[in-house]
Amino acid sequence: MTKIKVLIVDDSALVRKMLQEMLSSDPMIEVVGTASDPYMAREKIKELHPDVLTLDVEMPRMDGVTFLKNLMRLHPLPVVMVSTLTEKGADVTFEALDLGAVDFVTKPKIDLVNTFEDYTHEICGKVKAASRVTRTMLERQYARYTANADRKQVVLKPVPAALNISEKYTADAILEKRGFNSRHFRTSDKIIALGASTGGTEAIKEVLMRLPASTPGIVITQHIPAAFSLPFAKRMDSVSEMSVTEAEDGQQILPGHVYIAPGDKHLLVERDGARYICRLHDGPPVNRHKPSVDVMFRSVVQNVGPNAIGVLLTGMGNDGAQGLKELQSVKAPTIAQDEKTSVVWGMPGEAVKLGAADSILPLEAVAAKILELAAR
């Protein structure tokens, strides 16, 4: 078995040591070296030829974003950023992901020694996912970044959440499984329910940029940390004709509006007479995620039924696959992103295996399909 060669770049000796121990615990990963700053990293890359880098966002001499920009321009490599859970950390991390970083993990702000090791499963999983990203994909993303930078537009990349490795619950922990409640007040209003994870922020941006302000209301669950969901919603609002906000409990779902799940709550859709409203739920993680796509999809099954449109984009794991199947069972049309355009074809791939996707489409065709289905 060929191991994934990883180079760790971080100015903190403690973090380098902890990351090395965490990554080395996985039999598929080999830490071939560490570097305390980008200048040392540049030499280590030439010497060790790593498959993946972990890169600290904030470092002396040269910050991680500047180094990443040079790396993607001259020698593209899959990079997993190591970020702090702060608003500043979120802004810098988004910029790094714009440039072509595949993913990121977060460092706790306090008690690093006793809490950082809890992220071992997440870090190893993200490094392994990053190793599958090709140089062509990285070059394409950097070209998109430079083109959009010239137009001063915001461009985003994958921002999945910290993976909760506690007991794995299904959506049953939040909502009992049942079909559409046909006793609801009749309405012709449609709801678009969209789920994503690794690669999702870029994919969501590409979809939202193609949708007009007249589009039916959209609810989105993207695996993302709580500190990052509001900045993500604001960035999406800046590139979309629709109004994009972080969802609030009891908020009415209106056409032309997008509601993004907070990073620490499940987002559900409920009925209030003939209206649809957002409901936030503080239950346990489902499929080890909070928010969970399966939870959102199940609530849409029960309260929107055939008036819904289900969309599952790129992401690691299987969250949302079963929920998309449940949407299909109540005659709601379903869409899955195809393998070629997905950063990680985990979630949509699992849905396709279940036969849950009525349409399997490249990312650039998803928005047009949504509009076609909404017009029916």
Query: Could you check whether the bond before residue 285 is cis, i.e. omega within 30 degrees of 0?
Result: no
Cα 70 from Cα 49, distance rounded (Å): 17
Q: Which of the residues 197, 229, 292, 299 is marked catalytic? A: 197
Percent helix, strand, coil in the chain (nearest 5)? 40, 20, 40
Is residue 164 within 8 A of residue 273, CB to CB? The reply is no
Integer-rounded Cα radius of gyration of the chain:
20
Nearest alpha-carbon partner for 170 in 365, 277, 318: 318
In this structure, the number of other CB atoms found within 10 A of the CB of residue 15 comes to 18
319 is an active site residue: yes
Catalytic residue chosen out of the listed positions 51, 103, 319, 338: 319
Q: Whole-angstrom Cα distance, residue 376 to residue 373?
A: 5
DSSP letters along 45-109, please?
HHHH--SEEEEESS-SSS-HHHHHHHHHHHS---EEEEEESSHHHHHHHHHHHHHT--EEEEE-S
**What is the greatest pairwise CA distance in the chain?**
67
Q: DSSP label at 116?
A: G
End-to-end CA distance of the chain: 51
- 295 vs 128: CA distance, rounded Å: 27
**Catalytic annotation on 223?**
yes
What is the rounded distance in angstroms from the CA atom of residue 22 to the CA atom of residue 29?
10
Instruction: Specify whether the CB–CB gap between 304 and 276 falls below 8 A.
Output: yes
Q: CA 135, CA 137: separation in Å to the nearest integer?
A: 5
Known active-site residue 197: yes
Catalytic residue among 56, 223, 281, 289: 223
As annotated, the active-site residues are: 197, 223, 319
